[in-house]
Structure 1
Amino acid sequence: MTIRVLIADDQMMVRQGFTVLLNAEPDIEVVGQAVNGLEAVARTAELGPDVVLMDIRMPELGGIEATRRITEVPGSPVKVLVLTTFDLDEYVYEALRAGASGFLLKDASADELAHAVRVVAAGEALLAPNITKRLIVEFSRISQAPRAPLKERVGALTERETEVLALIAQGLSNAEIAGALVLAEQTVKTHVSRILVKLGVRDRTQAAVYAYESRLVTPS
């Protein structure tokens, strides 16, 4: 199954470079490009890609708001992978909160780029958990106390689902969670699906952000 990608970045060299690298992969196809956030939203609606590579800083409409508009469409399966220059970019956490499924440094290698697209498209695990978790932890330190709705939704989880969510927030894959909890991987997948439904989130990355914001998982 071919993963269809849209690249949104105001730098032509980035768009063209990523297009060449991704089109060289047998299972990935770049179906379009956008030079700003407004065009990214419009092209996503037009082309229906599986993954949008989204730059944070773009003219007319920034990547964060563009991500929010794309992911807030009811039932939209589109995943957004944020592009950034620095791994501690202060805007990355806001992009994750806006609905992004992960992020990627612009100097990533061809293999890292392709892997990131596949991971985000599959929704299997957090992208670059060592970096993504660090961002979530860092910015959860200064976020406000959890809102009541957050607590209520987490309270709807079973004890086992709560354990699974905590491990998701640590960046573990289904296989790793299965090993940690001595469960079958298919059982973990079932728990993850139920967690996403109960929390009302799109994917594992959003579930991880939720876990930090609700204080189910706290910075160490």
Structure 2
Amino acid sequence: MILKGTNLKLSFGGLVAVNNVSFEIEEKTIFGIIGPNGAGKTTLFNIISGVYKPQEGKLFFKDKDITNFPTYKRARLGIARTHQIVKPLSELTVIENVMVGACFGKKNYNLKQAQKVALDVINFVGLSTKMFTQAGQLNVAFKKRLELARALANEPEILLLDEVLAGLNPKEVDSMLNVILKIKQNGITIIMIEHLMHAIMKASDYIMVLDSGEKIAQGSPQEISNNQRVIEAYLGDPKLAMQLVGAK
């Protein structure tokens, strides 16, 4: 077990964003998180990465209690993330952006070491033709890859992907999914939030479903796609409900 959350709870004023959520994630798997808008998915990511501290509950990384660890300390342990809204350093080149991830990541590389790591990661995610392009000049698809590359430069054991497929066309989605599956093959545990049902059903080993801050289901993609409560949770968004039913 690489990551475990027990009875996690976080409220903002009178709004309960995450309510008594527990989970266990096996090493070297892809663990998908789905749910309608406002379900608490990104809030849970922020708890895992250390942006927010839960008001109740505990979080364990390899049996170590990291509930009170700040973000940088979790990064040094090997927890990296991407963001739903990509945040490149726009005036820096692609390779400079990725080097930042290596310099301030798990192993705190010097510039020469960071450059080597960055080159390897850039080639891995398919950004070699854009290596010296300013990040601000990239289109959405390449910015998503850059966000992924910068997280990978941390050499994480757990990678949190927050809607990394959002805004991509079908060809770009397939290409990014291939990269994600290769990351898993390299032994990295992936936790991903995604609204594209066919994609997360294809990629995930296990899926947890949140609704209004609560965990309503967890299981294999097949189990989730046949879960009536999960389908009902998506009825407020007919497109997502149809995608979920279609995943059967």
Q: Which has the larger strand fraction?
A: 2
Q: Same fold (TM over 0.5)?
A: no
Relative contact order, CA 8 A, sep 6+: which one is greater?
2
Structure-1-length-normalised TM-score:
0.35
Q: Which has the larger helix fraction?
A: 1
CA radius of gyration, larger in = 2
